[in-house]
């Protein structure tokens, strides 16, 4: 299986790097930001400055304010695939298709040179393949994970952002929906408070953190083992402190946890349920004379999470007919984990990236997805290399796994908030994804893509699943 995956990865890499337009056309140069989010995805770290990106509509020129918008549509399908059996949370083995929709309005205003107010409104809808069940590394990060949620517009982010200068010298800042300042102190402390996504500021990667211009898979755009605090839509409420120096930074966030796994309601008692997030960032390349960044992550979640071993014991002792991770009184348990996130420039416009993630795997997968260990490698290429300034391409390979207690729980028929085939012939879930994003006109982008998921839901009795996709993205 590993040999097959390696061949798929090499083939996809060659396609992403070599299959480019032979006679590329020039592109327009209208003003627009390059920001993206959806289910927790964050502003594209590789985005060009606001005055370089094309947009459908002209933007406000007053630098004290921000008003932009985005529309992102991802259509996916999969043909019938082999499946020895199916359960309540399996991906449908027959042909199906689905299209997600995510509309975002970004607003912001600077009160002065050190304080600003930022707010985003979203509307999300459409259909997910199999209602989002059956894969830990699901193929579309923009889907609504609970189809019963209201599709009315909602406040995705609303935060206060303050900057405390710790040095007199200043550096240029690339304005974006999360920071409207044109210049920032070289040494500074940034404070944020309000509603936002934890991965807006943690586990970012310039080549693999953006569903609107890059990859779409949950465990490619984010560290799958990072069970970051979030509600069903990917957001939480909390506070963040970020110290930035010349070549390094350190950030800490305290966030609220949901009441139940994948729940929309948060626990408003931070002395009971809470999450601590830590990240150290070193902006130094691993290859001499090439830029790069290394990020080291740690987190601890405290919430009303079940314990897999106890759920299995209840079943073995005959207390329940099927293991149920939610069958317990209110109690606070803890999950902790670690991650590494590396990006390295290989040549102009070519960035390699990798992630590693691990969590203890004893407590219930609660907020993001059902992954206890993950390893990812990939590469992103900017279209300027073939004279298509706003195009980009990429390929990535990720392998996900779960701990033994989690495996046994699923093998005995237990279900999580995403997985549950009614049994389990365990194998690592291996994913290959590739895409090409082409700028068509003004702020309109089209991106064909392809994913292959082997052993979906860690089950050798099912798959592989091939998922072609087409993304349409519009910047306003």
∠ CA(446), CA(104), CA(275), 5° rounding? 110
**CB-based burial, 206-220: b 16+ in 10 Å, e otherwise:** bbbbbbbbbbbbbbb
Q: Which of 120, 81, 87 is nearest to 104 (CA)?
A: 120
What DSSP state is assigned to residue 427? -
CA dist., res. 341 & res. 355, Å (int): 5
DSSP 441-472: ETTEEEEEEEEEEESGGGBTTB--EEEEEEEE
In the numeric block, the tokens 């990667």 are attached to: 205
In the numeric block, the tokens 């952002």 are attached to: 161
**Chosen CATH of 2-475 out of 2.40.160.10, 2.60.120.260, 3.40.50.1100, 3.40.50.2000:** 2.40.160.10
- pTM equals 0.88
β-bridge pairing 188-196 and 236-244? antiparallel
pLDDT for the residue 145: 73
pLDDT for the residue 10: 39
CA dist., res. 312 & res. 259, Å (int): 22
| Whether the Cβ atoms of residue 369 and residue 138 lie closer than 8 Å to each other | yes
pLDDT for the residue 18: 37
Q: 454 forms bridges with which residues in the sheet?
A: 430
pLDDT for the residue 391: 96
pLDDT digits (tens, 9 = 90+) for 142-187: 998 777 777 789 999 999 999 999 999 999 999 999 999 999 999 9
CA dist., res. 38 & res. 469, Å (int): 17
Helix, strand, coil percent content, the chain, rounded in steps of 5:
10, 40, 45
| Whether the Cβ atoms of residue 362 and residue 311 lie closer than 8 Å to each other | no
pLDDT for the residue 325: 97
Residue 351's H or E segment, with its range, is strand 350-359
Tokens of 390: 């706003």
Half-sphere exposure of 300 (CA within 13 A, CB side): 6
CA dist., res. 15 & res. 433, Å (int): 11
Q: Which of 185, 201, 396, 173 is nearest to 295 (CA)?
A: 201
CA dist., res. 134 & res. 422, Å (int): 11
pLDDT for the residue 45: 37
Mean pLDDT by 10 residues, the chain (476 residues): 41 38 31 32 40 79 91 97 96 96 96 96 93 96 80 94 96 93 96 98 95 96 97 96 97 97 95 97 92 97 97 96 96 97 96 98 96 98 94 97 98 96 97 97 96 98 97 96
DSSP 187-202: SEEEEEEEEE-GGGTS
| Whether the Cβ atoms of residue 84 and residue 461 lie closer than 8 Å to each other | yes
Is residue 464 reached through a cis peptide bond, with omega within 30 degrees of 0 on the bond before it? yes
410-413: long-range contacts at Cβ-Cβ below 8 A with a sequence spacing of 24 or more?
410/457, 410/458, 412/312, 412/315, 412/322, 412/323, 413/87, 413/322, 413/323
pLDDT for the residue 191: 98
In this structure, the chain runs to a length of 476
Q: Where are the domains of the chain?
A: 2-475
In the numeric block, the tokens 């979030």 are attached to: 230
pLDDT for the residue 59: 83
pLDDT digits (tens, 9 = 90+) for 100-123: 999 999 999 999 999 999 999 999
pLDDT for the residue 144: 80
């Amino acid at each position: 299986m590993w040999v097959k995956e390696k061949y798929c990865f090499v083939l996809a890499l060659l396609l992403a790097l070599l299959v480019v337009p032979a006679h590329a056309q020039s592109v327009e140069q209208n003003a627009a930001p390059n920001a993206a989010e959806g289910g927790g995805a964050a502003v594209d770290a590789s985005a060009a400055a606001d005055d370089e990106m094309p947009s459908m509509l002209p933007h406000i020129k007053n630098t004290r304010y921000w008003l932009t918008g985005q529309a992102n549509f991802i259509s996916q399908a999969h043909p019938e695939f082999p499946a020895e059996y199916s359960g309540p949370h399996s991906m449908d083995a027959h042909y199906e298709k689905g299209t997600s929709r995510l509309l975002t309005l970004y607003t912001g205003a600077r009160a002065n040179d050190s304080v600003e107010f930022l707010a985003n409104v979203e509307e999300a809808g459409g259909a997910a393949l199999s209602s989002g069940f059956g894969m830990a590394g699901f193929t579309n990060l923009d889907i609504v994970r609970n189809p019963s949620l209201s599709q009315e517009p909602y406040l995705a982010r609303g935060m206060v952002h303050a900057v405390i200068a710790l040095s007199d010298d200043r550096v240029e800042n690339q304005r974006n929906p999360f920071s409207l300042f044109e210049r920032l102190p070289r040494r500074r402390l940034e404070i944020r408070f309000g509603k936002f996504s934890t991965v807006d500021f943690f586990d970012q990667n310039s080549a693999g953190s953006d569903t609107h211009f890059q990859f779409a898979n949950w465990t490619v755009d984010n560290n799958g083992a990072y069970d970051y605090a979030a509600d069903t839509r990917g957001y939480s409420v909390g506070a963040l402190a970020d110290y930035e120096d010349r070549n390094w930074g350190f950030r800490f966030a305290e966030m609220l946890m949901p009441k139940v796994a994948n729940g929309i309601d948060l626990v408003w008692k931070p002395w009971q349920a809470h999450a601590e997030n830590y990240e150290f960032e070193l902006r130094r390349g691993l290859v001499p004379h090439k830029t790069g960044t290394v990020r080291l992550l740690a987190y601890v979640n405290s919430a009303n999470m079940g314990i897999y071993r106890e759920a299995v014991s209840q079943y073995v002792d005959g207390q329940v007919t099927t293991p149920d991770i939610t069958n317990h009184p209110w109690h606070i348990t803890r999950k902790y984990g670690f991650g590494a996130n590396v990006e390295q420039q290989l040549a102009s416009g070519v960035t390699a990236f990798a992630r590693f993630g691990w969590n203890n795997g004893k407590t219930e997968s609660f907020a993001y997805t059902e992954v206890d260990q993950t390893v990812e490698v990939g590469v992103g290429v900017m279209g300027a290399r073939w004279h298509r300034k706003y195009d980009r391409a990429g390929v990535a390979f990720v392998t996900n796994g779960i701990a033994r207690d989690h495996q046994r729980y699923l093998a005995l028929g237990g279900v999580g908030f995403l997985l549950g085939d009614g049994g389990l012939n365990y194998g690592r879930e291996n994913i290959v994804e590739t895409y090409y994003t082409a700028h068509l006109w003004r702020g309109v982008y089209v991106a064909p893509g392809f994913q292959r998921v082997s052993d979906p839901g860690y089950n050798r009795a099912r798959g592989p699943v091939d998922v072609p996709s087409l993304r349409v993205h519009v910047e306003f």
